């Protein structure tokens, strides 16, 4: 990709190549160095050209990111807790936070995925697009903004939403992850769709890009492998290795399997969280409502950062509200954490058991 100083991609090409890896680097140590808080990691300092490459990539990424955010790419910062063990004992849940090194790779992958989608379209081949439609519950996002004395338009508008998020990040960085989580929940899930030559899929609302596929991780994600096969066919001048019906079936299958994988990951995280707090029955915590539907009401407490179901006093609660809850029951095997809503000043009630 040839990226101009203004962040636009002037031209791009895709070809088969052999890669020689001269340095194996870690996100955290590279981030500390990029942010000016530490020395360059070993191979950055000793292998000629690596430092210059990383500095160049950082400049490119800053330009690319600026353009995306001008178009409405969302500055979301969700909380990703990871288990910390002391030997075989779960000791804590710590937040896996973003840093400049992670963002560098993320932005370059977003750019590469966009180039890949356009390349296949230009060669007259179909592609498996990654899409995120306009938010399913935009009206609730509007109400969240109104509760913070901000105004959003009645119809979904990525640029307006990004302006609101950026303002809130500056105004209240401590609670911004909670607002981000609420917005993510209200936006709905991403999915895979087939784009045929000349077609128009919805694009990706959160990234503010229209032409977008998954292509950069064929070793761990099946949609990327499908895309790589399509690319190799295009480069060889062969017809697509999949017919329309096959691709549509694969798109549905990949979306379903991603949902299933996410459920497993959530189950593991919930069991770890239940194990961590099982000795704290009866304690009260401050938290934020992360889900509210006919299936149940959910809240994530701030410290430790765990999520559970509100089984008592959930009437009238909605996504984004801050609440005080009491831990009433846990089940490590099933990953259950049950809370009761305890409004400030309200009397304590007996624990409510899950049935």
In this structure, the strands spanning 336-341 and 307-312 are: parallel
207 and 70, same structural domain?
A: yes
Task: Label residue 334 exposed, middle or buried (CB < 10 Å: 0-12, 13-18, 19+).
Answer: exposed
In degrees rounded to 5, what are phi and psi of residue 254?
A: -65, -40
Q: Span 68-88, mean pLDDT?
A: 86
Which residues is 285 bridged to in the sheet? 325
49 and 96, same structural domain?
A: yes
Residue 354 is assigned to a structural domain of this protein: no
Q: Are 271 and 260 in contact (CB under 8 A)?
A: no
Confidence bin at 290 (pLDDT 50/70/90): confident
210 and 65, same structural domain?
A: yes
Kindly report the CATH number assigned to the domain that includes residue 327.
2.40.50.140
Q: What is the mean pLDDT of the chain?
A: 91
324 and 176, same structural domain?
A: no
Q: Span 99-113, mean pLDDT?
A: 95
Confidence bin at 345 (pLDDT 50/70/90): low
Q: CB within 8 A of 20, min separation 6: which ones?
A: none
The count of C-alpha atoms lying within 13 angstroms of the C-alpha of 139, restricted to the half-sphere facing its C-beta, is: 0
pLDDT at 303: 87
170 and 96, same structural domain?
A: no
292 and 160, same structural domain?
A: no
With residue 250 as reference, give the H or E element that holds it: helix 244-277
Q: State the DSSP code for 234.
A: H
Q: Is the pLDDT of residue 21 over 60?
A: yes
Q: Say whether 275 sits in a helix, a strand or coil.
A: helix
Q: Say whether 226 sits in a helix, a strand or coil.
A: helix
81 and 158, same structural domain?
A: no
Q: Say whether 298 sits in a helix, a strand or coil.
A: strand
Cis omega (within 30 of 0) on the bond before 233? no
**Final residue in a domain of this structure, among 265, 297, 328:** 265
Q: Using one digit for the tens of pLDDT, what is the confidence trace for 164-182?
A: 999 999 998 877 887 888 8
Q: State the DSSP code for 213.
A: B
Q: Say whether 184 sits in a helix, a strand or coil.
A: helix
Q: Using one digit for the tens of pLDDT, what is the confidence trace for 211-250?
A: 999 999 999 999 999 999 999 999 999 999 999 999 999 9
Q: CB within 8 A of 345, min separation 6: which ones?
A: none
Apex CA 291: angle with CA 288 and CA 297, to 5°? 90
Apex CA 213: angle with CA 212 and CA 219, to 5°? 150
Q: Determine the Cα–Cα distance for residues 176 and 174; give it in Å rounded to an integer.
A: 6
Q: Determine the Cα–Cα distance for residues 261 and 164; give it in Å rounded to an integer.
A: 32
Q: Determine the Cα–Cα distance for residues 273 and 80; give it in Å rounded to an integer.
A: 12
Alpha carbon distance, N-terminus to C-terminus of the chain: 57
Q: Determine the Cα–Cα distance for residues 250 and 202; give it in Å rounded to an integer.
A: 18
Range of the domain at 305: 281-341
User: What's the alpha-carbon Rg for the chain, to the nearest Å?
Assistant: 23
């Amino acid at each position: 990709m040839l990226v101009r100083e203004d962040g636009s991609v002037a031209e791009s090409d895709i070809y088969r190549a052999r890669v020689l890896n001269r340095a194996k680097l870690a996100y955290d140590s590279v981030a500390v160095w990029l942010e000016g808080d530490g020395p360059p990691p070993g191979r950055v300092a000793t292998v000629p050209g690596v430092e210059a490459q990383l500095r160049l990539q950082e400049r490119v990424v800053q330009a690319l990111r600026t353009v995306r955010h001008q178009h409405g790419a969302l500055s979301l910062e969700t909380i990703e807790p990871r288990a910390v063990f002391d030997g075989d004992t779960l000791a804590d849940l710590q937040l896996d936070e973003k840093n400049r090194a992670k963002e560098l790779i993320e932005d370059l992958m977003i750019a590469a995925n966009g180039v890949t989608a356009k390349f296949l379209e230009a060669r007259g081949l179909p592609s498996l697009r990654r899409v995120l439609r306009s938010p399913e519950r935009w009206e609730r996002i509007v109400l969240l903004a109104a509760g913070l004395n901000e105004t959003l338009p009645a119809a979904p508008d990525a640029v307006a939403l990004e302006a609101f998020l950026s303002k809130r990040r500056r105004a209240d960085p401590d609670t911004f992850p909670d607002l981000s989580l609420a917005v993510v929940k209200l936006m709905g899930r991403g999915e895979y769709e087939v784009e045929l030559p000349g077609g128009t899929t919805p694009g990706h609302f959160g990234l503010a890009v229209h032409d977008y596929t998954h292509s950069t991780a064929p070793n761990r994600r099946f949609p990327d492998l499908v895309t790589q096969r399509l690319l190799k066919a295009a480069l060889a001048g062969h017809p697509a290795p999949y017919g329309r019906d096959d691709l549509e079936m694969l798109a549905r299958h990949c979306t379903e399997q991603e949902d299933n994988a996410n459920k497993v990951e959530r189950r593991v995280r919930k069991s770890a969280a239940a194990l961590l707090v099982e000795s704290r029955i009866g304690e009260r915590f401050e938290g934020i409502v992360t889900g509210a539907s006919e299936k149940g009401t959910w809240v994530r407490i701030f410290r430790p950062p765990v999520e559970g179901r509100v089984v008592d006093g959930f009437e009238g609660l909605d996504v984004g509200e801050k609440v005080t809850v009491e831990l009433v029951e846990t089940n490590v095997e099933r990953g259950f954490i049950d809370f009761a809503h305890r409004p400030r000043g309200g009397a304590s009630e007996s624990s409510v058991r899950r049935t």
